[in-house]
Amino acid sequence: MSNSLRIQYLISDEDFTRAGEASGDVKAKLKMMGVNPEVIRKVSIAMYEGEINMVIHANGGVIDVIITEKDITMILKDKGPGIKDLDLAMQAGYSTASENVRALGFGAGMGLPNMKKYSDEMNIETEIGVGTTVTMKVFF
Amino acid sequence: MTIDDVQRILHGTYVCGEDQKDREIHSACGSDMMSDVLAFVKDQAVLLTGLCNPQVIRTAEMIDIYCIVFIRGKKPTGEMIEMAKERDIALLCTDHRMFNACGMLYDNGLRGGKPY
Given the DSSP bridges, would you call strands B45-49 and B67-70 parallel, antiparallel or unpaired?
Answer: parallel
Q: Give the number of beta-carbon pairs within 8 Å between A and B.
A: 71
- Average per-residue pLDDT for chain A: 93
Q: Which residues contact A71 (CB under 8 A, 6 or more apart)?
A: A120, A137, A138, A139, A140
pLDDT for A35 equals 95
Residues of B in contact with A41 (CB under 8 A): 43, 62-64
Residue to substitute from A26, A106, A119, interface B, most B β-carbons within 10 A: A106
Which of B33, B53, B63 is the closest to A45 by Cβ? B63
Going from the C-alpha of B88 to that of each of A33, A50, B11, B63, B82, the distances in angstroms are 20, 25, 22, 13, 10
Using DSSP's 3-state secondary structure scheme, residue B62 falls into: helix
pLDDT for B73 equals 94
Residues of B in contact with A53 (CB under 8 A): none
B61 to A24: CB separation less than 8 angstroms, yes or no: yes
Q: Is the pLDDT of residue A13 over 90?
A: no
pLDDT for B116 equals 62
Separation CA A17–CA B55 (nearest Å): 7
Q: Which segments in chain B show pLDDT lower than 50?
A: none
B39 to A114: CB separation less than 8 angstroms, yes or no: yes
Percent of all residues in chain A with a pLDDT value above 70, rounded to a whole number: 99
B64 to A27: CB separation less than 8 angstroms, yes or no: no
Residues of B in contact with A117 (CB under 8 A): 39
Q: Which residues 49-108 of B have a C-beta within 8 angstroms of A?
A: 49, 51, 53-56, 58-59, 61-64, 79
The domain locations on chain A are 5-139
Four-point Cα dihedral A33, A37, A39, A44, nearest 10: 90
A106 to B33: CB separation less than 8 angstroms, yes or no: yes
Confidence of residue A98 (pLDDT cuts 50, 70, 90): confident
Distance between B21 CA and the closest CA of chain A, angstroms: 23
Query: Which residue in B113, B105, B100 sits closest to B44, CA to CA?
Result: B113
Single-letter code of the amino acid located at B94: T
Which residue in B has a C-alpha nearest to residue A22's C-alpha?
Answer: B58
pLDDT tens per residue across span A21-74: 999 999 999 999 999 999 999 999 999 999 999 999 999 999 999 999 999 999
pLDDT for A104 equals 87
Q: What is the ipTM of this complex?
A: 0.87
Domains present along chain B, CATH in parentheses: 3-107 (3.40.1390.20)
> What CATH number is given for A5-139 in this structure?
3.30.565.10
Single-letter code of the amino acid located at A18: R
Separation CA A84–CA A98 (nearest Å): 16
Separation CA B42–CA B64 (nearest Å): 9
pLDDT tens per residue across span A86-95: 999 999 889 9
Separation CA B3–CA B90 (nearest Å): 8
First-last CA distance in chain A: 15
